[in-house]
């Protein structure tokens, strides 16, 4: 089944086939002798479907039901999908068994087409597995044995000489079974994934920097975006890249534990700031100097990353936030205070990055902080700017970058990650300054 979970659902043959079959089913249902009653049924069904779809998209955007405004393509996919579904439903009253069968197929295919179209508009879930919240990665069965702690004579871009048998690409795999990261405080995460760059896969690999990354809410620990960006950079830098753990800060895609340990969701913060660091130090061939460790996140994960970087400067040396929420729980603040903090607003505020900065004065000088946001993402630009100012005032070497034309979907990741990683490479000595 792994091959099925890996099928591309953005622009591969699967969505194209489903869309084509849907169109064929609708055309077949339209091929008949028209009657006034039939025409009225079709016109009403299509009109109602379009109206429902437009209303749903407008409602979602006005109420921020799914966070920021839906991608523009949803204005086509949702009304068009609803119209096709209702057209298929009213066609069930057609005479002839074969027309009823085609009508059923049209409804099913229209549902699938709409789901695939909306998913493609976001561009975050790139495979069947990620759409279903199931990892499409093979399990990692062997991790490179950590070598001796090295005393470097200089940055890796100067001292590392890749062997002739170094692979051309990094490898990505799921940390499952005996390779799974233990969660010690009651949090039940989905399996993390690990990216091992080419330089990590040779006989005598160098100790490499560590990056721990999180995706957004709703979402899954999807490693493809960071792996693709780092493969491109590694190809230009003798196979060098950080070792990356892409981990789950949600537990499932429909809950938001807002980056804290809680009775409701368990020890999310403990998992990221105790369990993952201990696992990485024991099992991965990483640089053990925490100044080379980076906590990174997109959207919801970006809020957790900035929070934990400021509350745990002994663990995380650097921060990368791609289109981050301004702070944990920002999208449902009042309800979060009520349900997660028993109505204690002060406790809620203590979980923000500003509180971590205040508790560790002088701890962040010279550390790297990169904040990126889509230039066409007005709901997130002000909060990201405020976070960048907070980081800069705290002493971080801070960069704020707007990705031209990007919104809050895949284009924000595809533009933000390479920009941030280029700066991180220079900061960590993986490339020349």
Tens digit of each residue's pLDDT (9 = 90 or more) over 226-245: 999 999 999 999 999 999 99
Give the integer Cα–Cα distance in Å for 116 and 81.
10
Over residues 282-292, mean pLDDT? 95
Over residues 72-94, mean pLDDT? 93
Name the average pLDDT for the chain: 93
Over residues 393-405, mean pLDDT? 97
Query: Order of strands, edge to edge, in the sheet holding 294-298?
Result: 171-174, 193-196, 243-246, 210-214, 294-298, 318-322, 368-374, 397-403
pLDDT tens digits for 6-18?
A: 788 888 899 999 9
pLDDT exceeds cutoff 90 at 124: no
Phi then psi for residue 322, to 5 deg, are: -100, 115
pLDDT tens digits for 327-383?
A: 999 988 999 899 999 999 999 999 999 999 999 999 999 999 999 999 999 999 999
In this predicted structure, what is the pLDDT of residue 324?
Answer: 97
Q: Which range (130-134, 376-380, 402-406) has the least confidence?
A: 130-134
Give the integer Cα–Cα distance in Å for 261 and 268.
5
Number of Cβ within 10 Å of residue 263's Cβ equals 7
Reply yes or no on domain 137-428 having CATH 3.40.50.1820: yes
Percent of the chain with pLDDT over 90: 78
Helix axis angle, 74-90 to 97-122, nearest 10°: 170
Q: Quote the radius of gyration of the chain (alpha carbons, Å).
A: 24
For the chain, give every domain's residue range: 2-122, 137-428
In this predicted structure, what is the pLDDT of residue 149?
Answer: 65
pLDDT exceeds cutoff 90 at 32: no
pLDDT tens digits for 166-212?
A: 999 999 999 999 999 999 999 999 999 999 999 999 998 999 999 99
262 vs 127 pLDDT, higher one: 262
Confidence of residue 138 (pLDDT cuts 50, 70, 90): confident
């Amino acid at each position: 089944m792994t091959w099925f979970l890996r099928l591309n659902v953005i622009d591969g043959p699967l969505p194209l086939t489903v869309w084509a079959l849907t169109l064929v089913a609708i055309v077949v249902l339209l091929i008949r002798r028209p009657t006034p009653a039939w025409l009225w049924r079709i016109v009403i069904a299509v009109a109602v479907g379009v109206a429902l779809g437009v209303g749903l998209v407008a409602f979602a955007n006005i109420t921020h039901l799914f966070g920021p405004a839906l991608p523009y393509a949803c204005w086509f996919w949702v009304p068009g999908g609803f119209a096709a579904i209702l057209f298929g439903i009213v066609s069930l009253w057609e005479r002839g068994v074969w027309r009823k069968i085609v009508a059923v197929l049209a409804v099913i295919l229209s549902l699938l087409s709409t789901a695939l179209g909306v998913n493609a508009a976001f561009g975050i879930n790139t495979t069947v597995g990620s759409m279903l919240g199931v990892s499409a990665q093979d399990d990692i069965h062997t991790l490179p044995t950590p070598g001796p702690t090295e005393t470097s004579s200089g940055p890796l871009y100067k001292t590392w000489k890749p062997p002739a048998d170094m692979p051309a690409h990094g490898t990505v795999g799921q940390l499952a079974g005996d390779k799974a990261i233990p969660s010690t405080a009651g949090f039940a995460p989905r399996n993390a994934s690990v990216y091992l760059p080419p330089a990590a896969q040779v006989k005598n690999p160098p100790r490499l920097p560590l990056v721990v990354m999180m995706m957004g809410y709703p979402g899954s620990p999807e490693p493809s975006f960071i792996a693709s960006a780092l493969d491109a950079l590694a190809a230009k830098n003798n196979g060098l890249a950080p070792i990356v753990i892409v981990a789950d800060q949600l537990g499932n895609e429909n809950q938001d534990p807002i980056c804290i340990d809680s009775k409701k969701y368990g020890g999310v913060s403990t998992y990221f700031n105790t369990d993952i660091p201990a696992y990485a130090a024991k099992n991965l061939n990483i640089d053990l100097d925490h100044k080379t460790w980076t906590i990174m996140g997109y959207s919801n994960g970006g809020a957790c990353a900035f929070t934990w970087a400021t509350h745990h400067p002994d663990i995380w040396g650097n921060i990368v936030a791609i289109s981050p929420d301004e702070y944990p729980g920002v999208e449902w603040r009042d309800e979060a205070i009520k349900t997660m903090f028993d109505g204690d607003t002060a406790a809620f505020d203590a979980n923000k990055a500003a509180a971590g900065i205040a508790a560790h004065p002088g701890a962040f000088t010279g550390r790297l902080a990169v904040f990126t946001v889509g230039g066409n993402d007005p709901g997130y630009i002000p909060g990201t700017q405020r976070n960048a100012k907070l980081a800069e005032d705290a002493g971080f070497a801070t960069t704020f970058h707007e990705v031209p034309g990007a919104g809050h979907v895949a284009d924000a990741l595809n533009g933000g990650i390479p920009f941030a990683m280029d700066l991180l490479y220079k900061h960590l000595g993986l490339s020349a300054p």
